[in-house]
Structure 1
């Protein structure tokens, strides 16, 4: 099972669209309720974190993402991604 998960992560990483801003993301599209962001050089769909959502740094977002989501502070709002 671990091998399958590791292989899936490698495949996703290899095919991720790279960016320096969301304007660079022409192939990535997000579902309803999600927004497109450039996170760590990869086009990424994010959704609102729990709580009021306000932040000044990533540390303000700790514990606000469900299902082991990865949290970010983007434009003063906590956002979650899932990897």
Structure 2
């Protein structure tokens, strides 16, 4: 029998870090349920487009619908799609 142990050490040095309160909202209004297979397919398609960028980012806009989008840095090229909500 072979046992493999992997350890990850993370050291956060002194310095300034991004303000997580700007990235993660303090107030959340609930939850959304997706069809996991559909969401995976959609994210995979968007990931292919996002990888063409130096700093790729996928954006979720959640309102009555959920819109997943990706855009080039100069926003000259963009692609968006509505993802089905189950609840």
Relative to the length of structure 1, the TM-score reads 0.23
Q: Greater RCO between the two (CA within 8 Å, min separation 6)?
A: 2
Greater strand percent: which structure?
Answer: 1
Q: What's the TM-score, normalizing by structure 2?
A: 0.22
- Which of structures 1 and 2 has the bigger CA Rg? 2
